[in-house]
Amino acid sequence: MANPATTSSGTSRPEAPSSPHRPPALGWRWWVGKAIPPALLLVAGLLFLVALGAAQRLGWIAAESAGSGATSATGGHVYTCPMHPQIRQPGAGRCPICGMELVPATSGAATDLDELSVTIQPAQRRLAHIETAAALSEPLAATIHTVGAIAIDESRMATVASYISGRLERLFADYTGVPVAKGDHLAVIYSPQLYSAQVEYLETRKALRETSNAALAAVRQAQESLAANTRQRLVELGMTEQQIVELETTSEARSRLTIHTPIGGTVIEKLAVEGKYVEAGEPIYRVADLSTVWLMLELYPEDAARIRFGQRVEAEMQSLPGERFQGRVAFIDPRVDPGTRTVGVRVEFLNPAGRLRPGDYANATIYLPIGQTGEVYDQELAGRWISPMHPQIIRDSAGSCPICGMDLVPTSRYGYAESPVEQPASLHIPRSALLMAGSNSVVYVETEPGRFEIRPVKVGPILRDKVIILDGLKAGEQVAVAGNFLIDSQMQLAGNPSLIDPARALPAQRERKEPLALDGAEAAAIAGQDGARVERLYAAYVRIQQTLAADRNPAEADASELHEVAHELTASQTLDPALGELLRPVVEHSKHLAHQDLEQARQAFKPISHAVVTLASRARGEQAKGSLVHFFCPMVPGGGGDWLQNDQELLNPYFGSRMLRCGEKAHEFPLPASLRGE
């Protein structure tokens, strides 16, 4: 038996029974003690992050992205020159052109200086779905697709009318659409006026026969004139020659006249019924010859300007799908419709089987040569003769048109060649490559892998899926055909010229970034005083070049020497006039060369150098001692950074000490063979 619990006072009390499922009660101090350590840790972490951000803002530490760390770890940087973005090397170093220290291409330092392009990394390119295609130069044939309607050939329509007043007793063509042949009976008309005219003619003939030969000549002549007049009256009343001969044979007047059709074709309108009384000149039928029909088209003026008489046109009728019919242009309206701003074009189609029905719609295709301003070769028209009214009438020799009777003319009158003509090539790109906004048109050219350069272009005819480029692009250059709007947006974000404002790219585009193009022929040796002047000019020029490379203004004596010698050469009577004309820029820009500041002198030195370099490729004096070297720097502002030296050590006169070694050797002009003793 357990002992009872003893209290501090020594008294005892019974012990309360304990439950195994109820934890002992915990006070609030215990909970506070448990919460303080995590709270202190959280506050410390927040303070660390705030301190880290402040240190980065103050520049005490630099943030490094994961991507750059990975690149540094792998050593995969591509280095480029800030002044020459075309220089790309796998490691650090100096630019072989200007000597500047290379920087990583991925840092953006190089691309920021290239204001005409942006560089798209391969991953970005795949994400933007950028695609390119080559600009091609080849002959093109444009096609104009339009819709027109078949119409009746107006030159093959006739109206059958009554020449006299009377009543229609019979109509042989009972309904519209009846085919008729030329001379067929169409109607019978009753006319008392016709009867009396026939009786008068018969009586006149009888009186003429009874007049004896012995009668007065005047009386007989009057009788003959009366007979001729009454006969002509029958013609005017609509009787045919055959009907008059029958009247003269039978001597029997008739009050009923048969009306014949003047042409063969189809009755397209019936304008009267049997028993109707018609006046003289009132139409009864309209007949059309549908063996030839017209296709009426409406074209824009710029398209109509490229079409010529006799040009081939193909059409597919709405009622005859899948069948192609060929016709030729018969008429081009000389006016522009003021309402629709279109030009009417009429195409003539042969329709011997009657399958082409007036009123039917047709899809027409007109084939046009692009870039051809002279003769056009058409095998069917070469060296042949054509009707000026009906282009389907084509013959091998001169003659007359069987339809209108006009003389045939040679097809060369309408610009068709007698022998095949080589069609000029046109430079074209896919339609999707061209970006247009108002009067601005640009493309993006991939000059290097991933480098897209903006290029303002002059646009010619725009075809369905191609665009003719007149200026601004060369054959073989790769242009962006997909993703080019994303490239343009990158140009805008970089502050570079873009589709919105491409004008800033035009001056840079016109800058010559390549050395002067020379003919490559060996220089000629100039004898006598002119040869000595040529060598004096080179010597004065080289002294000025060396002075500018040393960051000094040209000496007045050197500038005067250059000016005077150039003037003497241009005025020489013995020097080739072409060489004298070449030196006129030297005379113009060297006059005040010594009185300008250093930068102005360098600008004036540029046209002088262009003339002197070209002269060095063509002429040397007999007193010449050594070669001349042509150098070029692509970084010269405004382009055209050519100059001449008499040694191989490159000294840039346009930059001086700033970039003394910036440039490259373009050509070397050795002494002429006659001066080398060869």
What are the structural domain ranges in the chain?
A: 75-113, 131-139+425-510, 154-288, 524-669
Confidence tier at 509 by pLDDT (50, 70, 90): low
- Could you read off the pLDDT of 245-287 as tens digits, one per residue? 888 888 888 888 888 888 888 999 999 998 899 998 899 999 9
Residue 580 backbone zone (phi > 0: left; psi -120 to 50: alpha; other: beta): alpha
- Could you read off the pLDDT of 614-651 as tens digits, one per residue? 999 999 999 998 899 999 998 888 788 999 999 999 99
Ranking 153-167, 219-233, 363-377, 401-415 by mean pLDDT, the lowest is 363-377
Strand partners, 527: none
Summarize the confidence of residues 332-339 as an average pLDDT. Answer: 93
What is the C-alpha separation between 333 and 314, in angstroms, rounded?
20
Can you say whether the dihedral through the CA atoms of 643, 646, 649, 655 is positive or negative?
Answer: negative
Name the packing angle between helices 556-571 and 528-549 (round to 10°): 150
Confidence tier at 3 by pLDDT (50, 70, 90): very low
What Å distances lie between residue 644 and 518, 637, 641, CA to CA? 14, 18, 11
- Tokens describing residue 562: 């250059």
The reported pLDDT for the residue numbered 15 is 46
Can you say whether the dihedral through the CA atoms of 302, 307, 313, 319 is positive or negative?
Answer: positive
Judge whether residue 8 has pLDDT over 50: no
Per-residue exposure over 69-97, b if at least 16 CB sit within 10 Å of its own CB, e if not:
eeeeeeeebebbbbbbbebbbeeeeebeb
What is the C-alpha separation between 600 and 342, in angstroms, rounded?
57
Question: Nearest-CA neighbor of 283 among 296, 298, 268, 266?
Answer: 268
Confidence tier at 174 by pLDDT (50, 70, 90): confident
- Is residue 466 within 8 A of residue 428, CB to CB? The reply is yes
- Please name the residues in contact with 413: beta carbons below 8 A apart, sequence gap of 6 or more: none
- Is residue 79 within 8 A of residue 90, CB to CB? The reply is yes
The CATH class of 154-288 is mainly beta
Confidence tier at 293 by pLDDT (50, 70, 90): very high
Judge whether residue 14 has pLDDT over 70: no
Judge whether residue 669 has pLDDT over 90: yes
What is the C-alpha separation between 658 and 61, in angstroms, rounded?
34
Same CATH fold assignment for domains 131-139+425-510 and 154-288? no
Summarize the confidence of residues 554-571 as an average pLDDT. Answer: 94
The reported pLDDT for the residue numbered 112 is 44
In this predicted model, which residue has the larger pLDDT, 510 or 30?
30
The reported pLDDT for the residue numbered 437 is 83
- What percentage of the chain reaches a pLDDT higher than 70? 85
Can you say whether the dihedral through the CA atoms of 444, 446, 451, 453 is positive or negative?
Answer: negative
The CATH class of 131-139+425-510 is mainly beta
The reported pLDDT for the residue numbered 142 is 75
- Please name the residues in contact with 560: beta carbons below 8 A apart, sequence gap of 6 or more: 594
Judge whether residue 508 has pLDDT over 90: no
- Is residue 358 within 8 A of residue 289, CB to CB? The reply is no
Helix (H, G, I), strand (E, B) or coil at 221: helix
Can you say whether the dihedral through the CA atoms of 56, 57, 60, 64 is positive or negative?
Answer: positive
Report the chain's mean pLDDT, rounded to a whole number: 83
Summarize the confidence of residues 482-505 as an average pLDDT. Answer: 81
- Is residue 537 within 8 A of residue 526, CB to CB? The reply is no
What is the C-alpha separation between 481 and 627, in angstroms, rounded?
49
Start-to-end C-alpha separation, the chain: 141
- Is residue 287 within 8 A of residue 294, CB to CB? The reply is no
The reported pLDDT for the residue numbered 18 is 45
